[in-house]
A and B are shown apart, each in its own frame.
Chain A
């Protein structure tokens, strides 16, 4: 049996990108359902979100923010929800590892295809496009911060491919496909949608301004995108005020947050170990192989108009990704930059990660690198082949992905099993403020992920990033205060059960020594000794149960009771 060169090329490309993906996220492939490799804590909310895909298409759950419930329309990724829902027959927990393991090779394949089929790069140099885009610093950041659904990002290069074909051939089908791929970008992640929109404008606008432009196909793309965008906006507005709350209100803090989510000049070049000590592990390295090739592209690619447009989009995206202040490594230069006019505007609260615009830059660099390497290979084939290996070096060592991944078991403390079923669990951890306020998000997300195992309702808000608000914050703050009084406040069990709470889960080792002992004593005095104590799954949990019978009261009664918490003593 003979295998055609085209099939052999496809098989080798798939093998190449799959092997790279296994190393990139190592050791995830060894235990995709029992292990997570993220350094930060957003994967916990992803684990929760995928487990909540079951009520879809209702897109709401009563199991969190108890008794108010939460709308899943703020889940950021409808693609993740749909993937988890469609895997429900098998195991919805597969959605996140599929995104992390299959996302990069699929994204790489789409970029490689764009460079090869639509812009003329030759295989194997076209692999540079896939490696640079599919295994970029942003991909590594997504893996380490835990937003693994963003790793399923083949849509922008597929959109670019369809747009170029629509421009050249004027086929309606290509225009519709371009619009669909933009919609999939948006439904994968709002930031990916913004990046894809910038890419679409850069590619389509000059094409529309040319004489003899193929308006019909490009208008079809725009119309499809408009419908998708409108449906997304409608869902977002439908999510309710609780989920739409601005994360920050003051000008100062919106500047700081947008700046923290922006790229640093140094971070585009490489990573340093301190990056993983804070929040999102932002290290959007671009890959020097593609960058060096792209820098020589004016000499090597003088007449490729589509590449010029792509390059322009990449440069603009890179400039904008630096955010409101130009910084070298951390907070050093603080020079006002392009997005500084956005500071203080409410929109700044919803655009806190300008670094994510670098998806466009990675794609542009990758495609440009593949085209330039193709030119070089015409005369110097073997030395040009080394460029593919260098790009692999950028993907693995330049991003540092396999050196930076963690090994965190996906599990939950056994104490939760003692909580009465159907009644809510109140998670009790300290009230973090100031420089350590992100710990509130960490423990909130972690305890949301525990719910996947114990299945009891929670007072936590498991979507969004709004700090110091929501039922858990409100009732938890009151309970800590009430239990620490001497003697503890009266009627604590009755008040908690009036909210449908059947158990309180205390994480005592999070509290500093003195207050920990006082709190444990106060809770034991008010609620009786803990019904269960577990020291497993990486922490100690004390579970206090409340005297409940039957099912909790109706949601309306519970919501009315929640309104009275502010007045409780």
Chain B
């Protein structure tokens, strides 16, 4: 049984490495900013691809109209890509929000997240590990930390209870 499970896991892993690389792009836009369209230009492996991101629920994992624009690129494995994030205002004017190199080394699946916010020098897209609607990004980023603290409180109570049980005269 154990051997079968291990072989299945190894086979799945080998198949995984032969599969194309998936780049998931997610851009959170602050509620005070409005764009009629968001696109990402990715230059990788000698080719340039422009992805129009959507927020209408038409892609898997996308919640319609939640302020998170998503896109997905499936292709050969690339260690990095030159990325440009462009926002198109309702007036039709385009704004360059981000330009730079992004590392995409994971052979299997890479999440590229940005958060578009207003800074003194104008609107900018800032790289983030996760992209969530206004205000939620910080909380989601901190989720593992919050869980860790909750876990810590539970353990303090548990060990405290055990200590109390151990030191009480009737404990067996």
A and B: bona fide binding partners: yes
Contact surface of A with B, Cβ cutoff 8 Å = 27, 30-31, 35, 266, 269-274, 276-277, 285, 288-289, 291-293, 295-296, 299-300, 329, 372, 375-376, 378-380, 383-384, 386-387, 390, 393, 398, 400, 406-409, 436, 439, 442, 446, 508-510, 512-513, 535, 538-540
How many A-B contacts at CB < 8 Å in the complex?
137
Could you say which of B43, B81, B107, B166 contacts A379, with CB atoms under 8 Å apart?
B166
Nearest CB on A from B105, distance (A):
5
A-contacting residues, B62-87, CB 8 Å = 76-82
| Contact between chains at B45 and A509 (CB < 8 Å) | yes
Whether B145 pairs with A292 at a CB distance below 8 angstroms is: no
In the complex, the answer to whether B45 meets A376 with C-beta atoms within 8 Å is no
Do the beta carbons of A289 and B144 come within 8 Å of each other?
Answer: no
The 8 sampled A-B contact pairs (Cβ below 8 Å) are A30-B10, A269-B145, A272-B144, A273-B144, A277-B127, A299-B167, A300-B166, A378-B166
Measured CB to CB, the nearest residue on chain A to B149 is: A269
* Chain B interface extent, by class: 35 or more
Query: Is there contact, CB below 8 Å, between B100 and A509?
Result: no
Point out the residue from B46, B107, B128, B166 that lies within 8 Å of A409, measured CB to CB. Answer: B107
Closest to A36 in B: B105
Please indicate the chain A residues that have their CB under 8 angstroms from the CB of B156 in the complex. Answer: 288, 292, 295
A383 CB, nearest partner CB in chain B, Å: 6
Tell me if A296 and B106 are in contact (CB < 8 A): no
| Contact for A292 among B9, B144, B159, B172, CB less than 8 A | B159
Of the residues B46, B106, B145, B172, contact of A407 by C-beta under 8 Å: B106
* CB pair B17 A269 closer than 8 Å: no
- B88 contacts the other chain (Cβ, under 8 Å)? no
Knowing A384-B162, A407-B106, the reply to whether A436 touches B144 (Cβ < 8 A) is no
Q: Is the beta-carbon distance between B80 and A539 smaller than 8 angstroms? A: yes
Tell me whether A273 and B141 are in contact (CB under 8 A): yes
Contact status B80-A272, CB under 8 Å: no
Give complex CA distance A329, B151 in Å.
18
Q: Are A540 and B45 in contact (CB under 8 A)?
A: yes
Q: How many angstroms from the CA of A386 to the CA of B154 in the assembled complex?
A: 13
- In the bound complex, how far is the Cα of B14 from the Cα of A383, in angstroms? 41
Task: Knowing A30-B9, A299-B167 are in contact, say whether A509-B17 is a contact too (CB < 8 A).
Answer: no
Contacts of A295 in B (CB 8 A): 156, 159
Nearest chain B CB to A305 CB, angstrom units: 21
Q: A270 to B159, Cβ gap below 8 A?
A: no
Using Cβ atoms and an 8 Å threshold, which residues of chain A touch B53? none
Cα A292 to Cα B161 with chains together (Å): 11
Decide: B144 and A383 in contact? CB cutoff 8 A.
Answer: no
* B162 contact from A27, A35, A383, A535, Cβ within 8 A: A383
- Are A273 and B130 also in contact (CB < 8 A) when A398-B148, A408-B106 are? yes
Query: Nearest 8 pairs between A and B by C-beta?
Result: A270-B148, A273-B129, A538-B79, A292-B155, A288-B152, A30-B13, A379-B166, A292-B159
B82: chain A residues at CB < 8 Å are 509-510, 512-513
A272-B144, A540-B45 known; A390 and B155 CB under 8 Å? Answer: yes
Q: Which residues of B contact A379 (CB under 8 A)?
A: 165-166, 171-172
B33 touches A (CB below 8 Å):
no
Minimum CB–CB distance for B128 against chain A, Å: 7
Given A509-B82, A513-B43, residue A292 in contact with residue B13 (CB < 8 A): no
Which residues of chain A have C-beta atoms less than 8 A from B171's C-beta? Answer: 379-380
- Return B15 CB to nearest CB of chain A, in Å: 11
Q: Chain A residues near B158: list those with CB within 8 A.
A: 292, 383, 386, 390
Contacts of A406 in B (CB 8 A): 105-107
